[in-house]
Structure 1
Amino acid sequence: MKNSNFVILSFYCLILLSKPFFSLSATERCNPDDKKVLLQIKQALNNPYQLASWNPNTDCCDWYVVDCDPNNNRIVTFNLFSANISGQIPAAIGDLPYLETLVFRKLTNVTGQIPSAVANLTNLKLLRLSYTNLSGPVPTFFTQLKNLTFLDLSFNDLTGSIPVELSLLQNLDALHLDRNRLTGTIPESFGNLTGKVPDLYLSHNNLTGSVPKSLGDLNFTVLDFSQNNLIGDISFLFGRNKTIQIVNFSRNMFEFNLSNVQFPDSLTSLDLNHNMISGSLPQDLTKLNLQFLNVSYNRLCGQIPAGGKLQSFDVSSYFHNKCLCGAPLPACN
């Protein structure tokens, strides 16, 4: 009996050993087309250490940097950041048709323009190409990505003007174009948004001209136009019925009277430093739950209203104004 059992066991072992790859191929989740594309991307990036797990003999759903959809096992996430990678974003990235998240971030040796192949990724919801050395214009083909909810192109070397077509992206929660070398004006089309009103980050560029009045018809939550060369009156962006929470208009050439501006109760951060704003600080500022305030380096005058959070900020929030006075500045004469 013992010999018989041994023979049967040996027989099954021979069957398993004779088909060593049967188990892998039967259980591999990764779509073969996606795997082929990923290996092309790895080769185009010169086989970096961060993609060492991308072994063609293993399941690509288990590889680092990418994730598969558990329902159809297609690659839906590509998230590459803080890696020692040089070169350009491979055009093959556009051959991952189910991709919903694409991130190339903190890759300072990644250069070149944003490849047009990105326009093929019509399922994209989040696109973050930031902290790289990408150059060239902001592509107009982003308008083909109708499902985008988050677009971040910050901290690059992008040049040219802001495409008016970006206003056609109706599902955006946030648009980051800050920290580039963009020129021209803020598109008038941004005031014609018919979908969501995105948080708008345009700081640290070379934008000029006035802010379109049409933006005053929208209810933003975050607006950051700081460190540009913008001019004019932007008081129309405020109002009692607005929903704005965070405002940074610092280091421009905005010029208007602050005295009668009405601020919404939602406002928690207001940065207007280094402009040419005149008038006095409205008494209504004392009613706000401000977490940050800076109106320094302007042309404000009069006493800082007492009460609320206004005295909780130090001198640096108020100094270098024409004749502003009262705590925390010296008393008014």
Structure 2
Amino acid sequence: MQQNSAMKTSAKIVLSISILLFLSLPSPAFSAHPKCNSHDKKVLLEIKAALNNPYHLASWDPNVDCCSWYAMECDPNTGRVNALTIFSGNISGQIPPAVGDLPYLETLVFRKLTNLTGQIPSAITKLTRLKMLRLSWTNLSGPVPSFLSQLKTLTYLDLSFNDLTGSIPPSLSQLPNLQAIHLDRNKLTGSIPESFGHWAGTTPDIYLSHNNLTGPVPASFGNLNFSFQIDLSRNKLEGDASFLFGRSKTVLTIDLSRNLFEFDLSKVEFPVNLTNLDLNHNKIFGSLPQGLTQLDLQFLNVSYNRLCGPIPQGGALQRFDQYSYFHNRCLCGAPLPPCK
């Protein structure tokens, strides 16, 4: 009996030691995340100083682990800074070249900073892992830099709502992973590069509205299939743009409004998934094709053109009010007055 009792006691001791040893082992679920990399922390403090130590970055305290700071993120496994997102702050100055010294950065955002001025720094090209570059709603000026074509990992480029001038660099079409490019709401001039009809990868959605672009849309655009949207509105583009359409296309939104486009709409076949079509304020002629009645349109505006003939009955066309159709040469029928 004493021997059995001793054996049971020994077994309990061994089991207790085993549990303690198990609990002392490092576990991914309970181990602390690595601290912010010291190099990255130094660079972030340089960026803060270059922006005149704004209150917006008050949490950037050198005595605190930088992975807990506002407006940036660290990789939870390595502690390297992988996102810098400075947004809607009272910040003056220029984009510090030091941003290029964050080698693991995948997201860089300076957005809604109306006192941010200067040009886009070439130091950004050092960010070889960058996937999202969003410099929008600022007062950045100068050209759209051609060196951005060096950012081969980029999937999203947004330079909208700035004061950028000059022409669009043809080299941007060399970005092989781009899914969307926003150059809208700037002061860009010249024509749309012919190279934008030949992308190195899949076709990105293109936003070029509210600029001063001129000339025709490159005919090579007819071979492109935009997955979601193409917006060329509010420029001075001209000529035939009917090749942007086609039943086999998958695009959902086409906005060509407020340009000088001139083509026969009656000959156009529309993408079957098209939900938003804006052609207002152009020189488009012909009649509205019956094919429009087969679309599940959520938005339509063909006003201020040179269209003629009855508005086809059926589909969504009578859901829109007269303002979607008025100021044409002789369009008629509901919701406009009856045809004579």
TM-score, normalising length from structure 2? Answer: 0.89
Q: Deviations over 1:200-253 (max 9, x none)?
A: 000000000000000100101311000000000000110111111100000000
8 Å Cα contact 2:175/2:200 also seen in 1: no
Contact 2:303 2:325 in 1 (8 A): yes
Letter in 2 for 1:173: Q
Match for residue 217 of structure 1 among 215, 223, 242: 223
State the SS of the aligned residue for 2:120.
Answer: coil
- Alignment partner of 2:189: what SS? strand
Q: How far 1:293 sits from its partner (Å)? A: 0.2
Instruction: Report what 1:306 is aligned to.
Output: 313
| Whole-Å separation in 2 of the counterparts to 1:214 and 1:317 | 30
Could you say which residue in structure 2 is the equivalent of 1:317? 324
Question: CA–CA distance in 1 between the matches of 2:305 and 2:130?
Answer: 43
Question: Is structure 2 residue 184 aligned with structure 1 residue 178?
Answer: yes
Q: How many angstroms apart in 2 are the aligned matches of 1:78 and 1:56?
A: 17
| Distance in 2 between residues matched to 1:83 and 1:58, nearest whole Å | 21
User: Residue 109 of structure 1 aligns with which residue?
Assistant: 115
- SS class of match (2:40): helix
Matches within 5 A, 1:61-100: 61-100=67-106
Partner of 2:168: 162
Instruction: Give 1:183 shift.
Output: 0.4
- After superposition, where does 1:195-214 map in structure 2 within 5 Å? 195-214=201-220
Deviations 1:3-56 (A, max 9, x none): xxxxxxxxxxxxxxxxxxxxxxx9860100000000000111111111101110
Structure-to-structure mapping, 1:265-304, within 5 angstroms: 265-304=272-311
- Mapped to 2, the partners of 1:172 and 1:196 lie a distance apart of 7
Shift of 1:88: 0.3
Deviation at 1:266, TM superposition (A): 1.0
* Letter of the structure 1 residue corresponding to residue 278 of structure 2: D
Given residue 85 of structure 2, which amino acid in structure 1 is its aligned partner? Answer: N
2:271 counterpart letter in structure 1: P
**Moved beyond 6 Å, runs of 4+:** none
Could you tell me how far apart the structure 2 residues matched to 1:255 and 1:45 are? 48
1:192 and 1:143 mapped to 2: Cα distance?
A: 14
Number of the residue aligned with 2:246: 239
TM-score, scaled relative to structure 1:
0.91
SS of the counterpart of 1:166?
Answer: helix
Indicate yes or no: 2:152 matched with 1:143. Answer: no
CA contact (8 A) 1:28 1:59 kept: no
SS in structure 1 at match of 2:157: strand
User: How far has the Cα of 1:192 moved from its partner?
Assistant: 1.1
2:111, 2:263 → 1: CA distance? 39
Residue identity in the other structure for 2:308: C
CA–CA distance in 2 between the matches of 1:118 and 1:112? 14
The correspondence of residues 252-267 of structure 1 with structure 2, limited to 5 A, is 252-267=259-274
Contact 2:33 2:76 in 1 (8 A): no
CA distance in 1, matches of 2:33, 2:215: 60
Distance 1:215 1:301 in 2: 28
Instruction: Give the letter for the 2:155 counterpart.
Output: T
Equivalent pair of 2:33/2:77 in contact (CA under 8 Å): no
- What CA distance in whole angstroms lies between the structure 2 residues aligned with 1:230 and 1:264? 22
**Secondary structure at the residue paired with 1:71?**
coil
SS in 2 for 1:263: coil
- Give the superposition deviation at 1:83: 0.4
Deviation of 1:323 after TM superposition, in Å, equals: 0.3
Structure 1 residue identity aligned to 2:220 = S
Partner of 2:65: 59
For residue 72 of structure 1, report the CA deviation from its aligned partner: 1.0
Contact 2:261 2:282 in 1 (8 A): yes
Q: Could you tell me how far apart the structure 2 residues matched to 1:271 and 1:209 are?
A: 20
Instruction: Give 1:194 shift.
Output: 3.3
Tell me how far apart the structure 2 counterparts of residues 72 and 112 of structure 1 sit (CA, whole Å): 33
Question: For residue 305 of structure 1, what is the amino acid of its counterpart?
Answer: P
Query: Is 1:133 the counterpart of 2:118 in the alignment?
Result: no
For residues 267 and 28 of structure 1, do their structure 2 counterparts lie closer, same or farther at Cα, with a shift above 3 Å needed?
A: closer
- Output the CA distance in 2 between the equivalents of 1:138 and 1:116: 11
Query: 2:287 & 2:190 partners in 1: Cα distance?
Result: 32
Contact in 1 for aligned 2:34/2:76 (Cα 8 Å) = no
Judging changes above 3 Å, is the alpha-carbon distance between structure 1 residues 101 and 27 closer, same or farther for their aligned structure 2 residues? closer
Determine the C-alpha separation between the residues in 2 that align with 1:177 and 1:195.
19
Q: Could you report, residue by residue, the CA deviation over 1:238-276 in whole angstroms, capped at 9, with x for unpaired residues?
A: 011111110000000000110110001110000000000
Q: Which runs of 5+ in 2 are unaligned?
A: 1-31
Any conservation in 1 of the 2:301–2:324 contact (CA below 8 Å)?
yes
Separation in 1, partners of 2:200, 2:82: 28
